[in-house]
Amino acid sequence: MDMVLQARGKSYHPSCFRCVVCRQSLEGQPFSVDADTRAYCVSDYHKVQAPLCAACKVPILPTEGLTESIRVVSFDRNYHVECYSGTEVNLI
């Protein structure tokens, strides 16, 4: 009898349930799913889905070892905290 992994209401062979980016097995691992139901390891999900900082154009990612990041949103733009504190504000 084969083992079956249940995730997101679907059945998978454990060896088939992998991150769409790095192909790492997600069996027993935390994972995230995008709007198209593609499964990612947490690290790759952050890299692919992270908003870009409007100042430095680098993705806003969690600090190593953490699963959440802090960002500043101003006028529908995303910033790293340290990038936002260094931006000029022009009043119109």
Residue pair 55/35 in contact by the 8 Å Cβ criterion: no
Is residue 33's pLDDT more than 80?
Answer: yes
pLDDT in tens, 61-86: 888 777 778 899 999 999 999 999 76
| Phi, psi angle pair for 74, to nearest 5° | -140, 125
- In 31-75, DSSP assigns E strands to 31-33, 39-41, 72-74
How high is the pLDDT of residue 87? Answer: 55
How high is the pLDDT of residue 56? Answer: 93
Is residue 21's pLDDT more than 80?
Answer: yes
Domains of the chain (ranges; CATH) run: 1-49 (2.10.110.10), 51-92 (no CATH)
Sign for the CA dihedral angle at 81, 22, 26, 33 comes to positive
Confidence of residue 91 (pLDDT cuts 50, 70, 90): very low
